């Protein structure tokens, strides 16, 4: 399974390379250089870096939501903050916050997707905000919290997050109350959210976790307002393909390839089953402080069939979409999840308190931490494609 899944990503990277050649080597917006030939920044290994990591302290970034502040919530170790990603045979450009902010002058950057994309969004703000004086920045929410906007006033720039876990309209679109097990996605509805993305200069999409119900997906034809709803059942893969095609159509119609950039972040792995990495049965990411050493390790919840859909659909894109392939490098990081060290929305029961594995969050990531690396890779692909 590992090899197959990686092969899909390799073929996706390959098809993107061919796409760029077809585009007569056009210079991508924001590019100031290029990555050295043959360098795959997503293939590499983690190195301990006590001197240069983390990029910032948890306590000095007030924008991190309490679900991700692991130190504040009692995590006893800090080792997860100290790892640097080193690609094989080349170097990742150092994240330059000044360059990033100057490039955003007069522009909008937006992350669109679920809570994992929100984590990457907050990480980006934490990497940049120290350069901006206190009275020169603000953060506000709009549209019932669906849209969060960080403003760098002197730069006339915004970095935004828009909640759309399926990208299409769904019954899980409330940014606060969305814990719905019976999920329904509306066909052909990308403009419901897409109208809020128009005019953005750098778009970063993700969608994966919410499709993983373990069941077929319910697809709504017509409207959520209809009294009699026509709902069809389709496989997760077919539903996901429908969403990806809708996304590509929207991008082609609404983004200007001479001025704007679009990124898509691959699936974020979870570490809910320790048997995946040879651990004791019944354990998960709780109390994990070491990395997975096997270079071919692949989390059992990262579905190769979804990888294949992404590869098939994106290879046909006429608009250059930059794929941020964070899945493999994140798969090694069973140490980096929030686990039990986060704000709990409901009081824990005595049974849960007696068994921390039962409520450990092995989906989301502590900040500072792994998602800062995702943004280093985004930085590399934005300026040195």
Q: What is the rounded distance in angstroms from the CA atom of residue 16 to the CA atom of residue 38? A: 14
Q: What is the rounded distance in angstroms from the CA atom of residue 174 to the CA atom of residue 94? A: 37
Radius of gyration for the alpha carbons in the chain, expressed in angstroms and rounded: 20
**Strand pairing partners for 264?**
205, 323
Q: What is the rounded distance in angstroms from the CA atom of residue 170 to the CA atom of residue 302? A: 22
Please enumerate in sequence order all residues whose Cβ is within 8 A of that of 260, keeping only pairs 6 or more positions apart, or say none: 29, 200, 201, 202, 203
The DSSP code sequence of 283-304 is --STT--S----TT---TTS-H
- How many other CB atoms are found less than 10 A from the CB of residue 299? 24
- Residues serving a catalytic function are 115, 361, 364
Please say whether the beta carbons of 157 and 107 come within 8 A. yes
HSE-up (13 A, CA, CB side) for residue 145? 9
Residue 56 is encoded by which pair of tokens?
């910032």
- Nearest 5°: the CA angle 252, 257, 258 is 155
Strand 108-113 and strand 202-205: the pairing is: parallel
H-type alpha helices, 78-151: 97-103, 115-128
Burial of 191 (0-12, 13-18, 19+ CB in 10 A): middle
Q: b/e for 219-247, b at 16 or more Cβ within 10 A? A: bbeeeeeeeeeeeeebebbebbbbbbebb
């Amino acid at each position: 399974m590992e090899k197959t899944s990686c092969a899909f990503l390799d073929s996706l990277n390959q098809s993107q390379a061919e796409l760029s050649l077809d585009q007569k080597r056009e210079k991508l917006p924001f590019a100031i250089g290029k990555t050295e030939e043959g360098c795959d920044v997503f293939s590499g290994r983690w190195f301990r870096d006590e001197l240069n990591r983390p990029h910032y302290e948890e306590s000095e970034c007030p924008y991190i939501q309490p679900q991700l502040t692991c130190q504040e919530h009692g995590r006893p170790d800090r080792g997860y903050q100290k790892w640097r990603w080193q690609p094989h045979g080349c170097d990742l450009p150092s994240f330059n916050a000044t360059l990033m902010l100057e490039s955003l002058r007069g522009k909008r950057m937006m992350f669109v997707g679920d809570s994992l994309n929100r984590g990457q969004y907050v990480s980006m703000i934490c990497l940049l905000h120290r350069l901006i004086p206190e009275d020169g920045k603000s953060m506000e929410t709009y549209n019932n919290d669906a849209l969060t906007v960080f403003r760098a006033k002197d730069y006339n720039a915004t970095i935004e997050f828009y909640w759309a876990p399926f990208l299409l309209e769904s019954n899980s679109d409330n940014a606060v109350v969305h814990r719905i097990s019976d999920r329904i996605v509306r066909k052909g509805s990308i403009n419901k959210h897409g109208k809020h993305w128009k005019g953005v200069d750098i778009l970063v999409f993700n969608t994966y976790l919410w499709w993983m119900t373990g069941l077929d997906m319910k697809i709504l034809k017509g409207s959520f307002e209809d009294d009699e709803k026509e709902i069809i059942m389709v496989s997760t893969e077919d539903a996901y393909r429908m969403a990806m095609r809708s996304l590509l159509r929207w991008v082609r119609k609404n983004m200007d390839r001479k001025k704007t950039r679009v990124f898509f972040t691959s699936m974020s792995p979870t570490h809910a089953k320790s048997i995946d990495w040879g651990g004791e049965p019944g354990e998960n990411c709780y109390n994990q402080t070491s990395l997975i050493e096997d270079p071919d390790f692949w989390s059992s919840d990262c579905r190769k069939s979804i990888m294949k859909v992404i590869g098939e659909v994106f290879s046909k894109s006429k608009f250059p979409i930059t794929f941020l392939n964070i899945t493999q490098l994140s798969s090694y990081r069973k140490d980096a999840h929030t686990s039990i060290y986060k704000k709990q929305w409901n009081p824990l029961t005595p049974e849960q308190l007696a068994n921390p594995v039962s409520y450990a969050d092995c989906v989301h990531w502590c900040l500072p931490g792994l998602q800062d690396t995702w943004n280093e890779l985004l930085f590399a692909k934005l300026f040195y494609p």
